[in-house]
Amino acid sequence: MMHPSSIQPNAHIAAMAPYALADLNVATGKRPIMLAQNESALPPSPLVVAAVDDVMHAAQFYPDPDWTGLRGAIAQVHDIAPEQILCGGGSMELIDCLTRCYAGPGDRVLSSQYGYAFFRTATRAVGAAFDAAPENDLTVSVDALLGAVQADTRMIFVANPGNPTGTRIRRSELVRLRDALADHIMLVIDEAYGEFADTPGEATFDLASRGNTVVLRTFSKAYGLAGMRVGWGVFPPAVATEMRKILTPNNISVAGQAAATAAMLDQAYMRATCAGIIDRRDRCIRELRNLGLVVPDSFTNFVLIRFPDGDAAVRADRALRAEGIVVRGMAGYGLPECLRVTVGSAADMACATEHLTKHLTTGHNRENPQ
């Protein structure tokens, strides 16, 4: 029997809503096609599977707390000093830890209107206030961010490319933002989808040398390792020192470190995976636009579809789900008229576009067909 408890959480935690993950329920009896969580369309490199196999015989030992092999691989591939690299249990752990380091009660944390939802969660968890600057045409606006900075703003998070919009701003805009911000404001550039947008001249890792800017990446998307929970980032040395005090020691498992190291060293596999996803993504965008839907250009592994209104989006979501196809409703992001579709395998994308086309062209898309 449960007894009434006098245990109370901190007031700011009690005031939080649970973090909203995707609803993954599908009609029973259908083969589920999961296109809701921006995971990779492909499993990781075969070298990853072999590397994990190789280390499991030593899984009775705690993992390397300094991620030596993994940092070395990242440093080598991206030409970054290993001391500037920190690794986390997904980039979510790094976002959480940064917020714990640099914001607290009485502070404000700023992001953009359709910024990644976890920025808000991490902010609320430390008792700080969260602000969102308007976007322009589903794209981060540096002017709006600068206009929303207040005297007690301590941190700014910019996901670039953005989730759930898929859009991005150029490096020159991020530099303009950094230049215009006061030095005491921490700028976190979250590049979870960076590998899909990598372009010569657009890399931002060097901004960490300014001392107040961090760039985050993850193995969850382009490297196909969402299930391993490994993220990384480039940190100014003084920021890295503070972060190490509160990152959970031994935070990445033996398997996770081995997997991410092998994945990083197999750049050819990652690049081929991204190229295939980008190809299917752009084909999907063309097909959806031909159906009369509004779809912004995407620099990620997903597309954001804008329906005429929220009801139309809900009906399309239901129709796809009835076929076992799970995409992500965007009402929680203030975009009830949108669905976000992760780019899956060629077969899954063909199936999703076929059913969406059928839904939109047969009259079943109306609430009360005549």
**Which own/partner contact pairs does 49-53 have at CB distance under 8 Å and 24+ positions apart?**
50/262, 51/258, 51/259, 51/261, 51/262, 52/255, 52/258, 52/259, 52/262
Out of 36, 52, 86, 92, the only residue in the binding site for ligand PLP (CB under 6 A) is: 92
| Structure-token pair, residue 54 | 């190789």
Asked if 157 interacts with ligand PLP (CB under 6 A), we say no
Asked if 226 interacts with ligand PLP (CB under 6 A), we say yes
Would you say 255 and 52 are in contact if contact means Cβ atoms under 8 Å apart? yes
CB of 176 to ligand PLP, least distance (A): 21
CA distances to 50, 186, 304, 342 from 345, in Å: 23, 38, 17, 10
Out of 114, 116, 205, 307, the only residue in the binding site for ligand PLP (CB under 6 A) is: 116
CB of 155 to ligand PLP, least distance (A): 15
Asked if 44 interacts with ligand PLP (CB under 6 A), we say no
Q: Which residue has the tokens 């059913």?
A: 355
Asked if 91 interacts with ligand PLP (CB under 6 A), we say yes
Nearer to ligand PLP, 159 or 316 (CB): 159
Would you say 219 and 44 are in contact if contact means Cβ atoms under 8 Å apart? no
**Which residue's Cβ has the minimum distance to ligand PLP?**
90
CB of 133 to ligand PLP, least distance (A): 16
Rounded (10°) angle between helices 117-125 and 90-102: 40
Nearer to ligand PLP, 252 or 312 (CB): 252
CB of 38 to ligand PLP, least distance (A): 5
Residue 128 CA to residue 100 CA, distance in Å, equals: 10
Best CA proximity match to 257, nearest among 107, 109, 54, 111: 54
Question: What's the angle, vertex CA 287, arms to CA 282 and CA 289, rounded to 5?
Answer: 95
Span interacting with ligand PLP, options 42-50, 140-148, 194-202, 218-226, rule CB under 6 A: 218-226
Asked if 220 interacts with ligand PLP (CB under 6 A), we say yes
Q: Taking the alpha carbons of 260, 262, 266, 269 in that order, is the dihedral positive or negative? A: negative
Span interacting with ligand PLP, options 74-82, 90-98, 141-149, 361-369, rule CB under 6 A: 90-98
Nearer to ligand PLP, 21 or 322 (CB): 21
Sheet holding 231-234, edge to edge: 85-88, 231-234, 213-218, 186-190, 153-159, 108-112, 129-133
List binders of ligand PLP among 119-148 (CB under 6 A): none
CB of 325 to ligand PLP, least distance (A): 19
Nearer to ligand PLP, 216 or 360 (CB): 216
Render 76-142 in DSSP notation, one character per residue.
HHHT--GGGEEEESHHHHHHHHHHHHH--TT-EEEEETT--HHHHHHHHHTT-EEEEEPPBTTB--H
**232 burial via Cβ count (<10 Å: 0-12, 13-18, 19+):** buried
Asked if 38 interacts with ligand PLP (CB under 6 A), we say yes
Out of 44, 90, 224, 329, the only residue in the binding site for ligand PLP (CB under 6 A) is: 90
List binders of ligand PLP among 168-207 (CB under 6 A): 190, 192
Rounded (10°) angle between helices 46-55 and 254-265: 150
Number of residues lying near ligand PLP (CB under 6 A): 13
Nearer to ligand PLP, 308 or 332 (CB): 332
Out of 63, 166, 194, 231, the only residue in the binding site for ligand PLP (CB under 6 A) is: 231
Asked if 67 interacts with ligand PLP (CB under 6 A), we say no
CB of 167 to ligand PLP, least distance (A): 12
Nearer to ligand PLP, 109 or 360 (CB): 109
Best CA proximity match to 260, nearest among 123, 112, 73, 92: 73
Out of 55, 80, 140, 159, the only residue in the binding site for ligand PLP (CB under 6 A) is: 159
Per CB under 6 A, residues contacting ligand PLP are 38, 90-92, 116, 159, 163, 190, 192, 218, 220, 226, 231
